[in-house]
Amino acid sequence: MIKYVAVWIFSVLIASFAQVLLKKAANRTYSGLLGQYLNPIVVVSYGIMLVSTMLTTFALHYVPYSSYSPAIESISYISAPLFGVLMLREKISRRQMLGFAVILLGIVIFKI
């Protein structure tokens, strides 16, 4: 079962990556409406989201949803801002750091 949990975690991480890619695409200007939605970054991002959905669905066939979902899905609340720091040079505030700590504490408490 651990390999399916790993697949699910990977799925959450690549979904967070795709969300940051979509934000990166939204920060650009495009000549027209078609260019806004059919540029390579947007197309790749939605492709990654599709793969993420398929991986999550696959993993959920083998992992009990109620036991793992709160902890695994909470990873995205930490990974998306971290990808934002790495890819978009965003800043993380002290308040966000406190939020990350609370999320991690919640995951630990949930799994104990």
Average confidence (pLDDT) over 45-58: 96
- pLDDT-derived band at 5 (thresholds 50, 70, 90) equals very high
Residue 36 reports pLDDT greater than 80: no
pLDDT in the model for residue 112: 66
Percent of the chain with pLDDT over 70: 99
Residue 16 reports pLDDT greater than 90: yes
Residue 40 reports pLDDT greater than 80: yes
Q: 64-96: buried (b, 16+ CB within 10 Å) or exposed (e) per residue?
A: eeeebeebbebbbbbbbbebbeeeeeeeeeeee
Residue 79 reports pLDDT greater than 70: yes
